[in-house]
Structures are given as C-alpha cells and as structure tokens.
Amino acid sequence: MTFRNGPDTDRDTQLDVVVIGAGFSGLYALQRLRSEGFRVRVLEQGDGVGGTWYWNRYPGARCDSESYYYSYSFDEELQHEWEWTERYPEHFEIRAYLEHVAERFDLHRDIDLGTRVESATFDDATSTWAVRTADRTLTCRFLVTAVGCLSTANVPDIPGLDTFAGEWFHTGRWPHEGVDLAGKRVGIVGTGSTGIQAVPVVAKEAAHLTVFQRTANYSIPARNGPVSAAERAEVKARYDEIRRIQRESTNGHPFLISEVSALAVDEAERTATYEKAWERGSLKFRASFADLLTSREANDTASDFIRDKIRAVVRDPATAEKLTPRDHGFATKRPPIDTDYFEAYNRTNVSLVDVRADPIREITPAGIRTGEEHPLDVIIFATGFDAMTGPLLGFDIRGAGGVPLRTKWAAGPVTHLGLQVAGFPNLFTITGPGSPSVLCNMPTAIEQHVEWIADCLVHLREKGVSRMETTEEAERAWVAHVNEVAHQTLLPQASTSWYLGANVPGKPRVFMPYAGGMATYAKTCAEVAEKGYEGFVLSA
C-alpha cells in the first residue's frame, strides 16, 4: 500500500528519520529503527520495493553471491522460513524475498513508493533536514541514505544514439514487461559482471548477438543449479555458524581466505587448488590463496590459470585471444562469475568486436559503427553504473551553511567510516564510499551499517543529543587510511575499474570502497562507538 500525504501533516514534519531507498538497506533500516521506537518514513523512487533488484531485470540477472547468504540474518524465523530455489537466485526471486520481508514486518505502511527525493537541506538553526519530493517537504532529525552503490545507470555518450532506429536499453533500467529479442540482431556493449551474465542468455534468444568488448574480463563458472532439500536443511542447521563466519570474514561471505601464499606451494599443488575451485565455482575462487590481491606474482598464477581455461573453452583462437584479459590481474576489478559465458562464443550466432582495437565511432540508424557498421535491431548497454557516488550526487544534498555535497565531493568522495561526511550533520550513508560495501557481500555490509546507525541513534536519544557530526580531522584521517589500505593491495592498479570511478568520463579517480576487510572495519566501527563516538561531535 502506498501512502501519499498532503503537505505539513504531522507525519511529514515530526519525523525522527527519513530513509531514502527501499532496497536491502532501506527495508532493514526501517524495520530496525522502527523497532527502536523511532518515527521513520522511507521514500522510494521505484513503484515497488527491492532497490537494485527492482530495476535490474535484464536477461540472466541473478546474484553472484549464493542465495542462502545473500539474505538477511537479523531475524531467525525469517531465515528459517524462506526457501531459496537456486544456488544463485534470479532477480525475481530476490524481489519476491524482499517483498516478503516488507510484508512480514509490515513495512509498507511507512514507505512511500513512486517518490523521488529531489533535494535534502540541513537547517542549522533547528538541526533538522528538509527533504523535498515533487509534491511535499518532510522534516526529520536524521537523514539516512539507503540509495545503493550501483543504482545510477551509466549510459555512454556515444554520438548518434538518438538516431538509432531500433530499441536500446540499459541493463539497470530494464523494462518490467521484458523485451522480446527473438529473431533480432542484438548488440551488447560491455563485458562486466552484467554483460557476462546476459551474453549467454541473449545468445540463445537472439538471431544474432554482437558483443562489443572494451576490456576483456576474467570469469569463473558459477555452477548454478537447484538447491536440494538436503542442502537447504544443512544450511538451516548451520545458519548460526554461517552468519558468524560471514561477519568474521574479509568479504562478508561464509568462507575465509586461505592463509597459504600461492607462491609457497609447487605448481602441481597450486594448479590442483585452482582446478578444485574452478570445479566448485563461485566467487570463492579468489579465496584460493592468501596473496592473490597483494602480490603481483601470486596474482599472475591465478590470472594465467584462467587465461588457459579461456583458450581451452573458446574454439576460435583469434576470439579466444581477444577474450583473454591482459591489462589487469584477476579480481583486481570485481570478478564476474558466469554460466557458459566463454562457451557462448562457440555459437555461430555470436560475434565479438574488440572496441579497444576498433573503437565505437558512432551509432547510426542501422546499428553501431566501429571501423565497419554492425547492423542491429536492439542495443543493450551493459555499461555499468556511476558507482557509489552517483546515487548520492543524483539529488541535491546541502549540509551546514548550504554547502552542496557535489561541491564537497568535487575532487572525489570523503567520509568518516563511509558513514558520515563532515559538514553534513545528522546524515548517515549506508554503505557509503569509504566503507567495505561493494567489496563485500552487500547484505552483510548493510546489516552492520544499519545496526551501527540504529545503536547510535538510540545512544543519541538517551543522551539528549540532537546533532551529530563527524570532524574534518577524523574524515581526513579515515580517507588517508582508506587510501593506504587500498594501496597495500593490487586493486588500485586496475586502471579501468569502477572501484576507481574510471568507467565514467570526468569522474575523479579515487579508490572508493574500504579494502581493509569487513571484520576489521566492523571492529573499528564498534571501537568508535565504545569510545563515545570518537571522531564525531555530539551536541544538544
């Protein structure tokens, strides 16, 4: 049910918290904050809950984390009653799950769907936020952004797109009624996680698929399949342990990274380890050895292993060579997993264009022109997102003194713990830049943030604090730490990575997520709270 209020009702003006977004973060923020007795309103631009999963409905869209742990852990009954059907849930199953959560916890009564926030302005005099939508203004003490990290579609500015006679779509804004690709000549631009999921599915439906690849990518087989009753029972019996490992891990997954260096074992043992991980499938491949993300030499062993696999799968040697990544190491960009991605290039109706060697010059009414014209009926942009900062800068946030967040972040995002920005009191950013977020299984990162914020607001209420704001000093120290930690890894070296903002022309190159690991990060956040919110100024 959707509530739409007239202006100046009590419900609009006497809120403790406004939460922006009703995906994984916003739903849990509402549940948790409301259960602590706060008056909360959630504003969601989509016409349904689900956030990222409300919008991403492209062919092949499913989660790369396994279903049983890409889910909430906060409610024992919820995790025991929900039955996942596949090892990796497809988009509609995740949406069904989130809709179930919204129903189960009676969340809809405090969510306004179809409500896009246009601006949020902090009022110094009252220490409140005014949150404006198209038809009203809500006033709240605390503003919590739950806008996601990968929700602002990046459609490349290619000349001639408006002249294209066929249809074009961005994967992150896929039409809800679906797109009939049968018998069509389809082009997919982009070979990140999304493109790699879509290619094999589209290839089966389209008359012909042309993939436009700028950067070749590594991918590990997902090995998807149905979840058996026995597997389900086993997971449910072990849920406590699974959730504990998730919280104690680097990436929020229920496995720990090996403590053995890839260089400490001989080649036969190393290859056997990789083979086993390849056969098992999943993102766990990157946990095979301790130093895949810290030693170039160690990383080369994994990268070479996958390059060999690509050559073994793809029958045409020239295509295999084009598909072989050489400009970055495995997992230094977000590693995709796939179902028959490389195999798709063995089909007679799939062709590959290397747009680094043969760049896209323009889009014509008939298709995409590189050195030659590729005739197309449909273009699918799997070109990713203006990640992490895009969703926060997509509306006008103004902090103390009317300073726009866009100005504050002109040279790149700065935060303390990825949770607050100096000069923006009472604003909390769930999975903001500077937190583990996208380097982590998202629900694990989200739950930690929501719980920290909720505990913090309870503390402020108990102490009679109406204004909380991080200091520039704490922010500077955290940004320096985030950079230092990132540079202890190979991650900043992948020059085309969206972690760095490199996929969006003109975006400042800043390594955005915190690479120090979820467990370390959560411990730091807990210590900050224990020390009376060190690095934050609390005032009445």
**x/- contact string, 229-268, with ligand N01 (CB under 6 A)?**
----------------------------------------
Nearest to 214 by CA among 360, 337, 68, 79: 360
3-state SS, 421-433, equals CCCCCCEEECCCC
The separation between CA 324 and the C-alpha centre of its own chain, rounded to angstroms, equals 25
Beta-carbon contacts of residue 190 (< 8 Å; ≥ 6 apart): 212, 213, 214, 381, 382, 383, 384
Helix (H) or strand (E) holding 221: strand 220-221
Of residues 130, 189, 419, 421, which one binds ligand N01 by CB under 6 A?
189
Euclidean distance between CA atoms 394 and 385, whole angstroms: 12
Pairing of strands 167-170, 185-189: unpaired
Our finding on whether 281 is near ligand N01 (CB under 6 A) is no
Of residues 273, 295, 383, 444, which one binds ligand N01 by CB under 6 A?
383
The nearer residue to ligand N01, 214 or 309, going by C-beta atoms, is 214
Binding-residue total with ligand N01 (CB under 6 A): 26
- Which residues are 344's β-sheet partners? none
Assign 501 to helix, strand or coil: coil
What is the spatial order of strands in the sheet that 367-369 belongs to?
362-364, 367-369, 373-375
Subset of 436-495 contacting ligand N01 (CB under 6 A): 438
Assign 71 to helix, strand or coil: coil
The nearer residue to ligand N01, 249 or 383, going by C-beta atoms, is 383
CB of 380 to ligand N01, least distance (A): 11
Our finding on whether 192 is near ligand N01 (CB under 6 A) is yes
488: phi then psi, degrees, rounded to nearest 5? -85, -5
Our finding on whether 412 is near ligand N01 (CB under 6 A) is no
Our finding on whether 215 is near ligand N01 (CB under 6 A) is yes
Euclidean distance between CA atoms 82 and 99, whole angstroms: 12
Nearest to 523 by CA among 514, 536, 513: 514
CB of 48 to ligand N01, least distance (A): 18
Applying CB under 6 A, which part among 188-196, 300-308, 372-380, 461-469 lies near ligand N01?
188-196
CB of 361 to ligand N01, least distance (A): 11
CB of 395 to ligand N01, least distance (A): 21
CB 446 within 8 A of CB 435: no
Of residues 45, 194, 273, 282, which one binds ligand N01 by CB under 6 A?
194
CB 86 within 8 A of CB 226: yes
CB of 416 to ligand N01, least distance (A): 24
Our finding on whether 191 is near ligand N01 (CB under 6 A) is yes
Of residues 38, 54, 498, 514, which one binds ligand N01 by CB under 6 A?
498
Subset of 290-349 contacting ligand N01 (CB under 6 A): 334
Binding site for ligand N01 (CB under 6 A): 63-64, 150, 156, 189-195, 197, 212, 214-215, 334, 355, 360, 382-385, 438, 496, 498, 503
